[in-house]
Structure 1
Amino acid sequence: MSSVRDRLASLRRDLHRHPEPAWREFHTTSRLVEELRAIDPDGIAVGPEAYDPADRMAVPDDDAFEPWVERARDRGADGELLDLMAGGNTGAVAWLDRGEGPVVGLRVDVDGLFIEESTDGDHAPVAGGFRSEVDGTMHACGHDAHMTWGLAVLETIRDSDFAGRFVVFFQPAEETGGGGCPMAKSRFADDLDYLLAVHVGLDHPTGRVVAGIRKPLAMCHVDATIRGTSAHAGKAPNEGANAMQALGTAIENVYAIPRHADGMTRVNVGRAEAGTASNVIAERAHLEAEARGETTELMEFTKRALRRRLRTAAEMHGCEAAVDVVSESPRADSDPELVELIGDVAGGVAGVEEVVPTADFGASEDATFLMQRVQRNGGLASYLIVGTDHPTSHHTPTFDVDERSLPIGVDVLADAVLALAEREPRRQPAGGRAGGGTGDGGRES
């Protein structure tokens, strides 16, 4: 197999053709391991070898996995790997041990989205013959580019004079906020001195590099099931406890959660369903919502208010509500010392026309679990952005990546890893850093 660096565009396109959603990245993980085995690092851990499955969040029901396993098997995925990943334990970690030196981590995400990719002839993946082959699923956020970077940087560091330990986290389930927590709690994050996380685009053009983001929103995803009592809507509506009515009250009350004086908060009900027929008092309703905050504490405030309103709305109409926080992630800001190093390095990379030290993120990311773990242990972390000219926004059917950004990303990341081993910038004492926030990411019922 030829060098990854010589196949950046073709590898990214191959990954783009086979997107898989959170915790169902069976073909993707198998494909990554195929590439990793060719790179031949000092170790590869897959699925439950890489993390404790009990630490996963937002894991779908058991019946969600089999179609994706069979699809991966039909495409030639390694059968032993599929057995190892049973139950949705996807993703991988690979590492290089190169003697005395710092422990440096790189986190890239691997999952796709439930979006039907455009069939427009002007859409580059259509014109280039690499449109998604999976109906209703698409790499609409650039994770295909991220995986390509992870492999190419690992290969580059393998061939360098890097001294230390280099760990690459190929993290599943970022889009649902489910994979960052188990990776952060794994043994591979125990001794990290530095962590780099990366995203492509985010409205930054090709040639621009943001050395470290700030103000990612702390986030939680909440599912609620409201149970009432059915009855005949014409004959005896008084005998029912109307879950539909409770749902309507809950939605209205959720949007009435007050904003907070200490900073920005967000709340949204993104999906709701209830009822079976026009003449039946609905006995069940379900909704999916989220809360976000400028800090972890503000997210926790909004989450508590969200859960309380869901439960009291159900009680108001004689129903009961089961509320589950299926995933969440804290806020963690990039460290100034690491931002400065990345900025210095990026300025010398071919194709980089502008280096922006920091930018507000404005969205949420579960890489913050890894960032927070490193920072609390006295290390440094940064989430950088490598710009790309994307024709439409992320999470849209016509999203695409300008492939000129692929070598730029490899060089910025690899040069930053090498610079960390050479310079070893100052690390704070263990016990936490400003901006890290609070919260352990555990489930609540």
Structure 2
Amino acid sequence: MPDAVLAQFSDVLRRQLIDLRRDLHRHPELAFAESRTGAALEQALRDLVEPLLGGRPLIMTRVAGTGLVARIPGANREAPVVAVRGDIDALPIREATGLPYASVNDGVMHACGHDVHASWAVGAACLLAQRPAAGDVLIVLQPAEEIGKGADAVLASGLLDGVAAIFGAHVDRRFAVGQVVAQAGPLAAAADTFSIVLRGRGAHGARPHESADPVLGAGLLIAALQGIVARRVNPSVPAVLTVATMQAGTALNIIPDSATIGGTVRTIDPATRTLVADELRRVAHGIALAHDLGVEVSFELGPPPIVNPERTAAWAREASTALVGAANVVPLGITNMGGEDFACYMERIPGAFLRIGAREEGGEPTPAHSPRFFAADGSLFVGAAVLAETARVASAALTAR
């Protein structure tokens, strides 16, 4: 880790934050079921942050069922309020890391680094309690990011009303510990989902002419949907359409009455988002008509894309440069088509989203959502320090405005 990051943390605090991270990793919980996680984070804030407030109680409020918002006092209680968000939920994946602190909840795993995100939010709270921003900073520990519902639930609570800026980050093993992506422009895609049900007439598998075969229709539809991105979307514009599920049938010699496919659509700009949704419906209805099938198309809008504005990205870049050096503030280098519900905050509150390097020296760039994914401990401290300093830089700029 860079010396400027290490200097932010005492040996005791480093050990406490690592212990917190590993406890969260060992006991992952799914979206809106993060009861133990929320309790552990509340206790960590009481134990680590409250003693730094000079006898003042730490104000904490439960949100979205299992989430938590803590208010870290600033130097001037009249100054604009900023927020730092860490997400806390896990994924339905069986862990295969072999770590000594691997998940004890079979089939549930922190395969996207939210154990680190939650822990670095607590770490940022500690740093901001030790050296306050100009104004108060809200530490938002948000549930249910993985299903794209948590940010909207936090916003609906009203606890972020009046917040002047919000910042978040994600671990990324494509980058080494100590590297930070803090740039303007697209950082994540819109993450929409679809389900298509084809309804036909079942029959004996030996007499297919007596059926209207939804399995055949589903197969043809899966192939046809790939033509939307290949032939309807401008090649210079990023877009992804993935069919991820297919359900049909109960026996090898029965043509079923129905077949269902589902998947996700990822886009960066509003026009392409609308185009793909419209084309998906058109192709589904065309395939159904051609094969004498009924069709039901459900298209659900998920989180919008994240596009960092230059102004807020500049605050994050300034903070990152001060801590890791200009050479370690690196470009993303790709168009990231992953989704992130932090975008929901940015529809209402100015902000920026960062990527924090999480690959240990000599490590492999393991992808997120893999059973082998883990983030190196050092990323916890870089994330905490960068987010705390970004909050200070933004708070100072907003106060001076």
Q: TM-score range by the shorter chain?
A: 0.7 to 0.9
Structure 2 letter corresponding to 1:344: E
Structure 1 residue 102 and structure 2 residue 80: aligned? yes
Q: Distance in 1 between matches of 2:294 and 2:13?
A: 55
Report the identity percentage: 30
User: Gapped runs of 5+ residues in structure 2?
Assistant: 1-10, 51-57
Q: Distance in 1 between matches of 2:35 and 2:312?
A: 34
Q: Which of 5, 8, 16 is equivalent to 1:7?
A: 16
Indicate the residue corresponding to 1:187 in structure 2.
Answer: 158
Structure 1 residue 44 and structure 2 residue 44: aligned? no
Counterpart contact for 2:168–2:387, Cα < 8 Å: no
Structure 1 residue 218 and structure 2 residue 193: aligned? no
Indicate the residue corresponding to 2:206 in structure 1.
Answer: 234
Counterpart contact for 1:214–1:358, Cα < 8 Å: no
Cα distance per residue 1:369-422 (max 9 Å; x no partner): 111211xxxxx3111122121532222222221212222221111112122222
Indicate the residue corresponding to 2:30 in structure 1.
Answer: 21
Indicate the residue corresponding to 1:256 in structure 2.
Answer: 227
Structure 1 residue 414 and structure 2 residue 388: aligned? yes
Cα distance per residue 1:256-296 (max 9 Å; x no partner): 21242262221110121211112212112122211122313
Indicate the residue corresponding to 2:39 in structure 1.
Answer: 30
Indicate the residue corresponding to 2:113 in structure 1.
Answer: 142
Segment of structure 1 superposing worse, 341-350 or 195-204 = 341-350
Cα distance per residue 1:150-181 (max 9 Å; x no partner): 11212332343334232222222322333233
Counterpart contact for 2:214–2:256, Cα < 8 Å: yes
Counterpart contact for 1:189–1:370, Cα < 8 Å: no
Structure 1 residue 277 and structure 2 residue 251: aligned? yes
Q: 1:302 to 1:20 in 2, by over 3 A?
A: same
Please give the residue correspondences for 1:297-308 in structure 2 after superposition, counting only pairs within 5 Å.
297-308=271-282
Q: 1:339 to 1:426 in 2, by over 3 A?
A: farther
Structure 1 letter corresponding to 2:35: F
SS at match of 2:195: strand
Normalising by structure 1, we get a TM-score of 0.76
Q: Which of 230, 235, 241 is equivalent to 1:267?
A: 241
Q: 1:96 to 1:307 in 2, by over 3 A?
A: farther
Shift of 1:11: 0.9
Counterpart contact for 1:207–1:351, Cα < 8 Å: no
Counterpart contact for 1:229–1:241, Cα < 8 Å: yes
How many corresponding residue pairs? 372
Q: Distance in 2 between matches of 1:145 and 1:117?
A: 16
Normalising by structure 2, we get a TM-score of 0.83
Counterpart contact for 1:154–1:168, Cα < 8 Å: yes
* Root mean square deviation of aligned Cα: 2.7
Counterpart contact for 2:117–2:169, Cα < 8 Å: yes
Q: 1:188 to 1:312 in 2, by over 3 A?
A: farther
Q: 1:24 to 1:259 in 2, by over 3 A?
A: farther
SS at match of 1:44: strand
Q: 1:316 to 1:37 in 2, by over 3 A?
A: farther
Q: Which of 170, 174, 180 is equivalent to 1:203?
A: 174
Structure 2 letter corresponding to 1:104: V
Structure 1 residue 115 and structure 2 residue 93: aligned? yes
Q: Which of 352, 355, 363 is equivalent to 1:382?
A: 352
Shift of 1:327: 4.6
Structure 2 letter corresponding to 1:386: I
